[in-house]
Structure 1
Amino acid sequence: MMKKESVDERIMQTAARLFYTQGYNLTGINQLIDEAGIAKPSLYNNYRSKSDVLLAYLDRQALTLFDALEDHLNKIKGARNKIIGIFEYSIARNHTCNFGGCPFLKINAEVASSEKEVLDRVQAIKSRFRNLIFQLVTQLEDKKGFSEKALADMLYFMLEGSRASASITKQIADMESALATIQKII
């Protein structure tokens, strides 16, 4: 017998699809309720507001991303290869998402500066990613004359910039170019 999907799970799956494909601001609470197939009180029993749904969505996206990335990196030996693995994972993820872009940057671009809790959450997620790269850089034997911070920053910016470019052009070429450059640098 198949387990019935929880109300929260239906809300999160629907929010993830709508927020990612049409945007947070264009997703109305009534649309979310209708497409999740739930009653309005069910949504409000789980979340106080659309903003709370958004925070849960960000947390879930981060958990999914970091769990999958960790699984991918656990199969790779050595800091250099793991850094390359991050780029390869990001390239594959862009293909899977049809070049839709980073869900965190999309939300960051949509919310007002007054949405401090949301912006702080996005910043924390990006900082976690940046710290992962920094930790791997500290393990590199040859940093090619760069400080650990400078090298980690460069890798992070190349990854973020090439992901943004892939989202704009709907092509993977810039990410592959960034990866080729990184392979020469490290």
Structure 2
Amino acid sequence: MCASYKSQCTTVTITECEPGLVCSSLRYSVIVSELGVSSAAVARICLEQDLCSLLSPVASGITYSANFGVASVFGFVSCCDNDLCNSKIIPEVDNTPNGLICPTCNSVKDPTCNSTVFCVGNQDRCANGTLPNMQIFGPAVNMPVMGCVSKSVCEATSITTFTCTSARLSNRSEACIRLDLSLLILAVTATLLLQ
């Protein structure tokens, strides 16, 4: 086990996971520039098997990435059930532009959402939808969500629906693909565990 708010964590302790927990490696980064929010962490921990099942990672891990213009989120999670299986290198956030450009909103209150955002890393899809009942300023509102996402985000199970379009595959729509709020669950869980 280890935790760090920087790059790879180096001070490691060996711990036996309690029943119902498995070894995991985590990394998250959340930036909401408009609200001045920036949080990141990396950890090797014992994680609940049920949460691992929700996130559906394999032992080699899954990388989730999204950039909605006003907010960017990166998450990596791996779960495994062998001794010391979470000791591999945890991937860094990849901010290398990949050539894809998606429509986005330039603020959380943008009514037209006709700006664009450059996709990075494994963000190979454009997403378009709404997060319902988001309370950011004043009363709860339906917040538009437009921007770049990774295929892993599009394929994840979730509580909100939007459409992902693969611009590199003739712009055909992958209907009823859903945004996984597991990234947010991952960030919250890692933050709580690291405190």
TM-score range, shorter chain: under 0.3
- The structure richer in helix per residue is 1
TM-score (normalised: structure 1): 0.27
* Higher RCO (CA-CA < 8 Å; seq separation 6+): 1
- The structure richer in strand per residue is 2
